[in-house]
Amino acid sequence: MKNLGEIAEVRAGYTVRKPEKGVPTVRYRVLQIKDVTADAALDTANLATMNLPPVSDRYFLKHGDILFCARGARNRAAVSEVEMEQVVVGAQFFVIQVKGDRLLPRYVAWYINQPTAQQYFSERASGSYVRMILVDDLLHLPVPVPPLKVQQQIAALHQLGLREQNLLERLRVKRMELLNGLCIDVAGGHKRISKGV
């Protein structure tokens, strides 16, 4: 077991401020908490765009970055799986970058999203209106570090579980559509329901 600060670097996202008059701006896409889905994936299809003063490269989203939602009811972690140009990570996030090659970002994100880690954050959260996690608390999160092969297996199993969950949800929606269509036909007198129903 190691503290997250021993195995990863953590930095805050970019604080968006209104540009001062006369300062040149650049149009950037900005990643916000709303862009992290309920199952802790990044949805980058509809990123907000903002005119900001030139932003340092350190605030750009990079492949393999783990984005930790530092504010809000659920402190999820999501991994950037694709390379994106000049996407600014907002201040609602802490950006976690694993050190070396002994740790998989997908494994670390998976662990952060587990009940054990979520309980750790719940016990340390501050803020009465908007729950907030401090960087020091994130750095001290205990993380088990199994061999790389085990991390890969855990990450793969987790992905399969998410895929199954997605397929089951799509099946549920299709069944409801079918059932509602049948009921509409029955209501219109086009079909009858058998006596066994």
Asked if the model's pLDDT at residue 197 lies above 70, the reply is no
Average pLDDT over residues 5-31: 90
Q: What is the pLDDT of residue 160?
A: 84
Ranges of each domain in the chain? 2-143, 146-188
Q: What is the pLDDT of residue 12?
A: 95
For residues 78 and 158, the answer to whether their CB atoms sit within 8 Å is no
Residue 105 pLDDT level (bands cut at 50, 70, 90): very high
Residue 185 pLDDT level (bands cut at 50, 70, 90): confident
The predicted model scores a pTM of 0.83
| Pairwise CA distance, residues 195 & 90, whole Å | 59
**Hey, what CATH class is 2-143 in?**
alpha beta
Burial class from Cβ neighbours inside 10 Å (0-12, 13-18, 19+) for residue 157 reads exposed
Q: Give the ranges where 47-114 is alpha helix by DSSP (H).
A: 105-112
**What does the pLDDT look like over 126-151, one tens digit per residue?**
887 888 999 999 999 999 999 999 99
**What does the pLDDT look like over 40-89, one tens digit per residue?**
889 988 999 999 999 999 999 999 999 999 998 889 999 998 878 889 99
Average pLDDT over residues 173-193: 85
* Beta strand pairing call for 87-89 and 26-31: parallel
Which residue in 165, 3, 161, 12 sits closest to 96, CA to CA?
A: 12
Residue type (1 letter), 148: L
**In the structure encoding, which two tokens stand for residue 113, read together?**
């999203």
Asked if the model's pLDDT at residue 176 lies above 70, the reply is yes
Q: Phi and psi at residue 181, in whole multiples of 5°?
A: -60, -45
| Pairwise CA distance, residues 89 & 58, whole Å | 9
Asked if the model's pLDDT at residue 187 lies above 90, the reply is no
For residues 8 and 34, the answer to whether their CB atoms sit within 8 Å is no
